[in-house]
Amino acid sequence: MTEFLQQLLNGISLGAIFALIALGYTMVYGVLRFINFAHSDVFMVGAFVGYYIGRHVPEHTLWGGFLALAGAMAVCALLGVIIERLAYRRLRGSPTLNVLITAIGVSLLLENLGQFFFGATPRPFPELFPVTTFIVGGVYVSSNQLVVIGVTLGLLLALEFIVHRTKIGTAMRAVSLNPKAASLVGINIDVVISFTFALGSALAAAGGILYALNYPSIDPLMGVLPGLKAFVAAVLGGIGNIPGAALGGLLLGIVETFVNGSADWSSYKDAIAFAALIIILLFRPAGLLGRFTTEKV
Amino acid sequence: MPSLRSRLLPALVSFVCGAAALAADDPIRIGEYGAFTGKDADFGIAARKGVILAFEEANATGGVLGRKVELLVEDNQSKQGESATIAKKFVSRDKVVAVLGGNLSNHSLEAAPVFQNAKIPMVAITSTNPRVTEMGDYIFRVCFIDPFQGAALAKFAKDTLKLQRVAVITSVNNAYSVGLSKVFREKFTAAGGVIVADQKHNEGDKDFRAQLTAIKAAGAQAILHSGNYTEGALICRQARGLGFTGPLFGGDAWEGPELVAIGGAAVEGTYYSTHASAESATPAMQGFVKRYRARWDGEIPNATTTLGYEAALLLFDALKRAGTTESKALRDALAATKDFPGVTGGITIDAQRNASKPAMIVVVQDGKFKFVEAVQP
């Protein structure tokens, strides 16, 4: 029982990070109907910004940790806006495939720039937050796992609030529903889309830092695998749907952890995760929470 | 047609002779490939520093066979598939006489067939998987092989650490790790120990909590991780985070400054087996450590560095005995190496083209690597 609870906790903390990255995929898809493959590399940049800020703030302090988190989110929000302005805006209205290929190009560009500037050697990531381990009924809970779950939950609620309770959120949903009609009623589409990218990239940066806190070795290709998993999580939950992305991330993290913990099946963990995806999509083609007609942001 | 051939042949012969005459004044070109960037870069960089020192010393004393030796270095970026491309480049463009490297067995296994086909002798530095030299009679190595290392680790776990119940974590797509785990499992069980959990991960994985939770639940006293230091350091951290207090140990792929940089306090008291220790008291080793520290800003050489240096010395020795850079003669000279002093002790190349020596067990203490004992299974 203790082992089961421990694995469940391991799975939830892994899934929370997938969920955080998945939110960024799903939001950009919701508004623009395209997959921003550069998202996982913004995640990497976020971790590196956190690394550099982390060298200038004291380790093991709450304010230092949140400063690095906020700094990385701000830098990546700007990066997201710049990427959209330079790479995607000109392609708006062109076939989806063109934008998709451009996104892959931006992704490779970021990875190679990362290797050029940061070097390909993995670096140890500083311990930004105070680290303690709690033992609850035989289950070991590290404070970093709690930070991951807490920050993900907080950002998820903030996102729900922004999308459903604010003016810009209403504008985002309007653009998502019908861009032309939205601009006819006076919504500045450029601003809305820039904001979407800023928000999504900030979430990626937060994901990057939380990931690096739990797995403190960072390199320019660190985003590739979690990015892929998060994309799967977004599709699993119903791409374009915010609670769906969170649910998909959690499910994927938990399934992967339990498969990993069983000695006989652990080499097939990716195969099993993807098989689960295929089966769910066979029965619910729009994902767990996705509906074809629902409003999507 | 005979007339054409008779006219062409002398021209060809004179061209070849001309090229040979030119080559006599040129430096002897030797290639080195390895992981100099990327996740396994510690191995490559360490080995290259030893190799560079050997080349500089050789050139300072008049070179080899009266010619300078030139080192051509290619980086495989720790990526699978790159080593074979580099090997082809060395063969067709650089026309090297011999090759040093690689470090990881996976990389050596990719490059070895290319060198074997081109009949260019390759001396692997830290590739301990047995299959590496089985690729052909032009492939050598200066280190022990996994069956030997696995047996040494099993003996250390059983006799020195007095362990009874051990868990094994294997990196499934790493040839070295799979081989090492297999031998350890056999030898440790044969000695009366029990493998309580057999867990796996993929290269580049970062989350091992699931495997470690299962291991803890299985009641293991200690954990053997047979993969590389990047994963090893994270495993140590996560194991301590989950409240696992027993010792962790690994093979020679655990060696590297990154183990401590990433692992921090969690790698304190962990053990690994390796090829050489700078604390070994032999005059040859101490002389090397002194020269090495003078060259590289006081840095203490690790086993990979020592093997890189020895690989270069072994090659120079074979070149001298062969008296030529011709590949067949060089291969035969390498194969005939017997009791070459080197740094770590008499190196004899056996019939399988391996060099066998005792394994050194090292412990991490206060962030430094301390020599524990030499194990000969």
The number of domains in chain A is 1
Least CB-CB distance to A122: which of B201, B216, B258? Answer: B258
How would you classify the pairing of strands A139-142 and B28-34? unpaired
In a domain, A129, yes or no: yes
Select from B42, B199, B213 the Cβ nearest to the Cβ of A10. Answer: B213
Residue A213 lies in a domain: yes
pLDDT for residue A2: 84
Q: Give DSSP secondary structure letters for A39-55.
A: HHHHHHHHHHHHHHHHT
Q: What percent of chain B has pLDDT over 70?
A: 93
State the count of interchain CB pairs (< 8 A) between A and B.
Answer: 91
Cis peptide before B102 (omega within 30 of 0): yes
Beta-carbon contacts of B196 under 8 Å, excluding residues fewer than 6 positions away, are B165, B166, B167, B215, B218, B219, B220
Q: How far apart are alpha carbons A55 and B68 in whole angstroms?
A: 45
Task: Tell me the pLDDT tens digit for each residue of B280-297.
Answer: 777 888 899 999 999 999
A241 found inside a domain: no
Convert the pLDDT of each residue in B162-192 to its tens digit. Answer: 999 999 999 998 888 999 999 999 999 999 9
Q: In chain B, whose CA is at the least distance from the CA of A220?
A: B38
Select the more confidently predicted residue: A99 or B7.
A99
Contact predicate B88/B74, CB 8 Å: no
Q: Which one-letter DSSP state was computed for residue A120?
A: S
Under an 8 A CB cutoff, do B242 and A260 touch?
A: no
Nearest chain B Cα distance for residue A198, angstroms:
28
Put simply, the answer to whether A267 touches B202 (Cβ < 8 Å) is yes
The answer to whether B346 faces chain A, any CB pair under 8 Å, is no
- Whether residues B233 and A7 touch (CB distance < 8 A) is answered with no
Please determine, for residue B12, whether its predicted confidence score (pLDDT) is greater than 70. no
Mutation target among A148, A217, A225 for the B interface, most CBs of B within 10 A: A217
* Shortest distance, CA A208 to any CA of chain B (angstroms): 13
Q: Would A84 be classed as within a structural domain?
A: yes
Judged by CB atoms closer than 8 Å, whether chains meet at B38 and A121 is answered as yes
Contact between A239 and A34 under an 8 Å Cβ cutoff? The reply is no
Closest CA in chain B for residue A265:
B200
Residue A254 lies in a domain: no
For A263, the closest of B37, B198, B202 (CB atoms) is: B198
Cα–Cα distance, A106 to B343 (Å, whole number): 50
User: Do residues A72 and A46 make contact, with C-beta atoms less than 8 angstroms apart?
Assistant: yes
Instruction: Look at B204 and A214 and tell me if their CB atoms are within 8 Å.
Output: no
Q: Cα dist. A264→A131, A258, B167, B318 in Å?
A: 33, 11, 14, 48
Domain span holding position A42: 2-223
CA distance B290 to B270: 27
Q: What's at A281, amino acid-wise?
A: L
Question: What is the structure's pLDDT at A187?
Answer: 92
CA A253 to the chain's CA centroid: 13
**Residue A205 confidence (pLDDT):** 95
- Domain presence at residue A41: yes
Note the pLDDT of residue A292: 56
Position B214 scores a pLDDT of 92
Render each residue's pLDDT in chain A as its tens digit; 297 residues: 788 999 999 999 999 999 999 999 998 888 888 889 999 999 999 999 999 999 888 888 888 889 999 999 999 999 999 999 999 999 888 888 898 899 999 999 999 999 889 887 788 899 888 888 888 888 899 888 999 999 999 999 999 999 999 999 999 999 988 888 999 999 999 999 999 999 999 999 999 999 999 898 899 999 998 998 999 899 888 888 889 999 999 999 999 998 888 877 777 888 887 888 888 888 888 888 876 554 455
Neighbours of B318 (CB within 10 A): 25
Q: Judge whether A63 and A133 are in contact, CB under 8 Å.
A: no
Q: How far is A54 from chain B, CA to nearest CA, in Å?
A: 15
Task: Identify from A10, A139, A149 which residue to disrupt to test chain B contact, counting B C-beta atoms within 10 A and taking the largest count.
Answer: A10
What's the token pair of residue B334?
A: 């390498």
Q: What is the pLDDT of residue B24?
A: 55
3-state secondary structure of B337: coil
- For A253, list phi and psi in degrees, rounded to 5: -60, -45
Chain B partners within 8 Å of A122 (Cβ): 39, 230, 258, 262
CA distance A82 to A84: 5
- Give the tens place of pLDDT for each residue, B307-361: 999 999 999 999 999 999 999 999 999 999 888 888 877 788 888 898 867 788 9
Residue B43 burial (C-beta neighbours within 10 Å; 0-12, 13-18, 19+)? buried
A150's CB contacts (< 8 A; 6+ apart) are none
The SS3 assignment for A256 reads helix
Residue B154 to residue B359: CA distance in whole angstroms: 12
| Structural domains of chain B, with CATH | 4-144+281-344 (3.40.50.2300), 147-274+360-375 (3.40.50.2300)
Looking at every residue in chain B, the average pLDDT score rounds to 88
Q: Is residue A279 part of a domain?
A: no
- Identify whether A252 is part of a domain: no
Q: How far is B213 from chain A (nearest CA, A)?
A: 7
The predicted structure's pLDDT at residue A115: 87
Whether residues A216 and B41 touch (CB distance < 8 A) is answered with no
The string of pLDDT tens digits covering residues B63-80 is 999 999 999 999 998 888
Q: Which helix (H) or strand (E) holds B374?
A: strand B368-375
pTM of the model: 0.80
Q: Sign (positive/negative) of CA torsion A212, A216, A221, A226?
A: negative
* pLDDT range class, residue B19, cuts 50, 70, 90: very low
Q: How far separated are the first and last CA of chain B, in Å rounded? A: 66
Q: Please report the pLDDT score of residue A297 as a whole number.
A: 52
SS (H, E, C) B171-200: ECCCHHHHHHHHHHHHHHHHCCCEEEEEEE
Predicted local confidence at residue A130, as pLDDT? 86
> What backbone phi and psi angles, to 5 degrees, belong to B41?
-60, -25
- In this model, does residue B21 exceed pLDDT 80? no
Work out the angle at residue B38's Cα, subtended by the Cα atoms of residues B35 and B42, and round it to the nearest 5 degrees: 60
Residue of A6, A139, A144 to mutate, testing the B interface (most B Cβ within 10 Å of its Cβ): A6
Average pLDDT over residues B233-245: 93
- pLDDT over threshold 70, residue B38: yes
> Would the CB atoms of B39 and A219 count as touching at under 8 Å?
yes
Using an 8 Å CB-CB cutoff, list residues of chain A that contact chain B: 2-3, 6-7, 10-11, 14, 115, 119-122, 124, 133, 135, 140, 142, 214-217, 219, 225, 256-263, 266-267, 270
Which amino acid is it at A4? F
CB-CB neighbors (< 8 A) of A219 in chain B: 38-39
Q: What residues of chain A lie within 8 A of the CB of B262, using their CB?
A: 122, 124, 216-217
* Lookup result for tokens 């289950």: A139
Whole-Å CA distances, B308 to A220, B42, B221, B228, B314: 28, 13, 35, 18, 10
Given a cut of 70, whether residue B6 has pLDDT beyond it is no
